Amino acid sequence: MKATCILPLLLLLTGGSTKPKEDILEWWEETIVYQIYPRSFKDSDGDGIGDLNGITSKLNYIHELGVGAIWLSPIFQSPMYDFGYDISDFYAIHDEYGTMEDFVTLVNKANEFGIKVILDLVPNHTSNESMWFQEALKGNEKYYNYFVWDDGIIDENGNRQPPNNWLSHFRGSAWEYREEVGQYYLHQFVIGQPDLNYRNPDVVDEMKNVIRFWLNKGIAGFRIDAVNCLFEVDKQLFGGVYPDEPIAIGNDGDPGSHSYLDHIYTKDQNETYYMVYQWRDVIEEFRADDGMPRLLMSEVYASIQDVVRYFGEGEIKGVQMPFNFDLITDVDDSSSANDIKRAIDKFMTYKPIDQNANWVVGNHDQSRMATRYGSSLVDGINMIVLLLPGIGVTYMGEELGMVDGYVSWEDTVDPAGCNTNDPINYVKTSRDPARTPFQWSAEKNAGFSTADKTWLPVATGYDTLNAESQNNSRISHLKVYQALNELRKSKVFRHGRYESLALNNDVFAFRRWYKSHIYVVIVNMRQTEHTVDLTYFENVSGNLKVAIVNIQSDKVIGQKFKATSVPVSAYESMVLKVD
Ligand SMILES: *[C@@H]1O[C@H](CO)[C@@H](O)[C@H](O)[C@H]1NC(C)=O
Ligand SMILES: *[C@@H]1O[C@H](CO)[C@@H](O)[C@H](O)[C@H]1NC(C)=O
Ligand SMILES: *[C@@H]1O[C@H](CO)[C@@H](O)[C@H](O)[C@H]1NC(C)=O
Ligand SMILES: *[C@@H]1O[C@H](CO)[C@@H](O)[C@H](O)[C@H]1NC(C)=O
Ligand SMILES: CC(=O)N[C@H]1CO[C@H](CO)[C@@H](O)[C@@H]1O
Ligand SMILES: [Ca+2]
Ligand SMILES: [Ca+2]
């Protein structure tokens, strides 16, 4: 406690915060969370689709990366209208991915490697092929009440119309009529994804049982999908009618597109936060049993104020990791060093002081990091993700600098692309390019599969850009990633403090320090050369020694530079240690 009186002052000076005391860190506070999109990671049986045994066969690779936790995108039984985000049985493994036995083997083998397994919870909706929805259609009242139904309205011409103007994320009305029921059901995502009704206590209990079921299989936590869409407004507050949403200011003029409306009644409802806090209580039941903390991560694209509410409120605990998407949504290859600094400082500024930041630069819904930032910045961005204070998140392939693959209109399968019915502009919304198979080697299908056709085509360029060749070469993105991960284990990066500077428009730099150990990380966002003076950082003087450099750099590990004048070449990034 002795540090508390000087702490506020330090925070004022540095504008950043890390854990104030040298606590013993929980497992999830010191690891990297590595996201695997199972369909595209490794195919073990030659059908062109990645599977659980494929993941198990690559645990040694994940272990060599130094990653301590893998998060698997959904592996549950699904008709795959939305590639697993439409679940027909929350308690079963999707047959293309393997069996429950394969899953238990994966968890056990992962544990032998010291790797924890995190699953994706998709609580907003089920598949229309779920037993729950099928029972609802048959008139089973219990399951009818699992969904959100409404009569709709009859217009002046006597035609039936949806209850209101709500729009699906994938274009068009969010309401779909079912003859069997004589009512419309709500689907915030595709038609095949009816929304669950969280105002029904049975649904609340059911989802808690889903959480318990998988925790009992030995998993270490959940990533919760699209959680801010859980609740819709309570229609009782509007005389039993779901109110229209207002047209968004600054919309793109396309009335079918989700962004046309301002989602004040279908997103970020107050009740959502309290549902998530209840799920934290469920994982705490397990911790009380065996002492092992489980991790919850939430996926929410919202204002920073809304995102950090998922941490909890006062004494009430929420998730430990509300995903921080600022490095996806706020910056890209056109950003200046100042923009990067502001994007990083944003989460640090708004998060509760005793909670961790986390750093995410890609996922299965977003264009890949190496494409958004450019291949020259791959190592620099990985330096930011892995060396800033907090939890690093890597989407599979970021360690290699994998780029978006080209997927033709004929090969496009993502509903976000297909639903545009537009063979030209589908590329703007399709998420397939970020989901092309993992590039293992220069062999057929990049070593992903022996099939003649894979579910998505392998990206071109895999003959040189692949895990095997990067592992075999002395200098590669993979080797830089492993070196960063090794350095990350030191006290400076586990417990040290942090401050950042935009040294000019192009060069972003941050300092991490612990007692007398000081490191400075430099990332040049531009194809320009600079000489930078690092003595703008307090306590940085004398010489700095090169610890890690990006693959384009001609600096040598161990080489020394004067703090007052460090040369930085085009797109160069480096980690320096004050000598
Ligand atoms: C990477 O290369 C090392 C030898 O340099 C080898 O021991 C290791 O098995 C390789 N990793 C993989 C996943 O092939
Ligand atoms: C589920 O919805 C899809 C459209 O997304 C439709 O093609 C399919 O027929 C529906 N299945 C059932 C059982 O309602
Ligand atoms: C949000 O919901 C919680 C729990 O139901 C309630 O205690 C709180 O007053 C609500 N806050 C607002 C602003 O509606
Ligand atoms: C600078 O170094 C001194 C001496 O080690 C230390 O007391 C001080 O806290 C450091 N200040 C900062 C901002 O790192
Ligand atoms: C932000 C977002 O839309 N995330 C997911 C929400 O759920 C849909 C349907 O399940 C997924 O496709 C998205 O990836
Ligand atoms: Ca397979
Ligand atoms: Ca919902």
pLDDT at 570: 98
> Does the C-beta of 471 come closer than 6 Å to ligand 1?
yes
Strand partners of residue 221: 118, 295
CB 398 within 8 A of CB 361: yes
18 or 362: which leads in pLDDT: 362
Output the CA 1–ligand 1 centroid distance in Å: 45
Q: Dihedral angle at the C-alpha atoms of 518, 377, 325, 508, nearest 10 degrees?
A: 40
pLDDT at 22: 65
Neighbour count for residue 160 (Cβ, 10 Å): 12
> Does the C-beta of 157 come closer than 6 Å to ligand 4?
no
Q: How far is the C-alpha of 220 from the C-alpha of 294, rounded, in Å? A: 5
Q: Considering the domain boundaries, does residue 249 fall inside one?
A: yes
CB 385 within 8 A of CB 393: yes
Q: Considering the domain boundaries, does residue 191 fall inside one?
A: yes
Q: Considering the domain boundaries, does residue 50 fall inside one?
A: no
Q: Which of 10, 539, 578 to mutate to test the pocket of ligand 4 (most atoms within 8 A of CB)?
A: 539
pLDDT greater than 50 at residue 549: yes
Q: How far is the C-alpha of 325 from the C-alpha of 357, rounded, in Å? A: 11
The residue whose CA has the least distance to atom 3 of ligand 4 is 539
Residue range of the domain that includes 172: 126-195+233-266
Output the CA 231–ligand 7 centroid distance in Å: 5
**58: Cβ–Cβ under 8 A, 6 or more apart, which residues?**
41, 42, 440
Output the CA 285–ligand 7 centroid distance in Å: 26
**179: Cβ–Cβ under 8 A, 6 or more apart, which residues?**
none
Ligand nearest to the CA of 14: 4
pLDDT at 89: 97
Tokens 């531009």 found at: 526
The active-site residue out of 299, 326, 365, 379 is: 299
Buried-state track 76-89, b at ≥16 Cβ within 10 A, e below 16: bbbebbbbbbbbbb
> For the residues of 260-298, what is the DSSP string, one character each?
GB--TTTSS-HHHHHHHHHHHHHHHHHHHHHS---EEEE
Output the CA 306–ligand 3 centroid distance in Å: 14
Q: Residues with Cβ within 6 A of ligand 2?
A: 81, 128-129, 190-192
Q: What is the mean pLDDT of residues 273-294?
A: 96
pLDDT greater than 80 at residue 12: no
Q: How far is the C-alpha of 203 from the C-alpha of 334, rounded, in Å? A: 45
Helix (H, G, I), strand (E, B) or coil at 534: helix
Q: Considering the domain boundaries, does residue 22 fall inside one?
A: no
How is residue 119 written in tokens? 């699953």
pLDDT greater than 80 at residue 5: no
- Beta strands (DSSP E) in 408-562 are 497-502, 507-514, 517-524, 530-532, 543-549, 560-562
Q: Return the H-helix or E-strand segment holding 189.
A: none
Q: Considering the domain boundaries, does residue 417 fall inside one?
A: no
pLDDT greater than 70 at residue 56: yes
Q: Considering the domain boundaries, does residue 559 fall inside one?
A: no
How is residue 11 written in tokens? 């925070």
Ligand nearest to the CA of 429: 5
Q: What is the mean pLDDT of residues 478-502?
A: 97
How would residue 559 be classed by pLDDT, with cut points 50, 70 and 90?
Answer: very high
Q: How far is the C-alpha of 509 from the C-alpha of 515, rounded, in Å? A: 20
227-247 pLDDT tens trace: 899 999 999 999 999 999 999
Active site residue 299: yes
> Does the C-beta of 538 come closer than 6 Å to ligand 4?
yes
For the four alpha carbons of 443, 448, 450 and 456, in that order, the dihedral sign comes to negative
Q: Which of 195, 225, 429 to mutate to test the pocket of ligand 5 (most atoms within 8 A of CB)?
A: 225
Ligand nearest to the CA of 469: 1
Tokens 């530079």 found at: 561
pLDDT greater than 70 at residue 2: no
Q: Residues with Cβ within 6 A of ligand 5?
A: 82, 85, 122, 169, 189, 193, 225-226, 301, 365
Q: Considering the domain boundaries, does residue 145 fall inside one?
A: yes
Q: What is the mean pLDDT of residues 6-30?
A: 59
The domain tally of the chain equals 1
The residue whose CA has the least distance to atom 2 of ligand 5 is 226
How would residue 415 be classed by pLDDT, with cut points 50, 70 and 90?
Answer: confident
pLDDT at 3: 37
**6: Cβ–Cβ under 8 A, 6 or more apart, which residues?**
none
Active site residue 225: yes
Output the CA 447–ligand 4 centroid distance in Å: 51
Output the CA 91–ligand 6 centroid distance in Å: 20
Percent of the chain with pLDDT over 90: 92
Q: Which of 191, 418, 419 to mutate to test the pocket of ligand 2 (most atoms within 8 A of CB)?
A: 191
Q: What is the mean pLDDT of residues 313-319?
A: 95
Q: What is the mean pLDDT of residues 488-503?
A: 96
pLDDT at 420: 86
CATH number for the domain that contains residue 254: 3.90.400.10
Residues lining ion ligand 6 (Cβ < 5 A) are: 43, 45, 47, 49, 51
Q: Considering the domain boundaries, does residue 490 fall inside one?
A: no
Interior angle at CA 201, CA 197 and CA 202, nearest 5? 85
The active-site residue out of 225, 379, 506, 572 is: 225
Output the CA 254–ligand 2 centroid distance in Å: 26
> In the predicted model, what is the mean pLDDT of the chain?
94
